[in-house]
Amino acid sequence: MAIKLNMTGLTNFKLNSMPNQMTHWVHPQVIGSLISLLGNAGAQRVRLLESAPIGTKPLEDFMLAAGWQPKDFTSAAKNVEFENTNFLGGGKTYARFMVPAAALCTQVST
């Protein structure tokens, strides 16, 4: 299971350093709750994904700079992983899934 976080931008651009619930960022308690629910539902692995800003390699470092505690997520379920999608991470390659052009178009009849 993969969860794309919404930690868009640098930590100091988080809407004038307002609390998480008042910004465009997802609240970390929402992520923690989702991880817990997925773990209870039987998820074998939960991977948190974000393209942290350039210069930040481990996603956990960016989370700490933002005031989030990665240990809160790892304690919510077994096998929680972090991946900064600006870097390859633990894999050897990324896979690209091509979506047929027809799948991108939706016609609406009126």
Region for 50 from its dihedrals, namely left if φ exceeds 0, alpha if ψ lies in -120 to 50, beta otherwise: beta
pLDDT at 37: 97
Q: Is residue 57 part of a domain?
A: yes
Q: Is residue 109 part of a domain?
A: no
Q: Is residue 40 part of a domain?
A: yes
pLDDT at 75: 96
Which DSSP helix (H) or strand (E) runs through 102?
helix 101-104
Instruction: For residue 86, give its domain range.
Output: 2-104
Q: Which of 96, 72, 70 is nearest to 83 (CA)?
A: 70
Report the number of distinct structural domains present in the chain: 1
Q: Is residue 91 part of a domain?
A: yes
The model's pTM is 0.74
Measured distance between the N- and C-terminal CA atoms of the chain, rounded to whole angstroms:
38
pLDDT at 39: 96
Q: Is residue 61 part of a domain?
A: yes
pLDDT at 42: 96
CB 6 within 8 A of CB 28: no
Sheet containing strand 2-4, strands side by side: 2-4, 46-50, 80-84
Segments in 9-98 forming alpha helices (H): 28-40, 59-65, 70-74
Per-residue pLDDT of the chain (110 residues; tens, 9 = 90+): 899 998 876 666 666 666 655 667 788 899 999 999 999 999 999 999 998 876 667 899 989 988 899 999 999 999 999 998 887 766 777 777 787 776 656 555 55
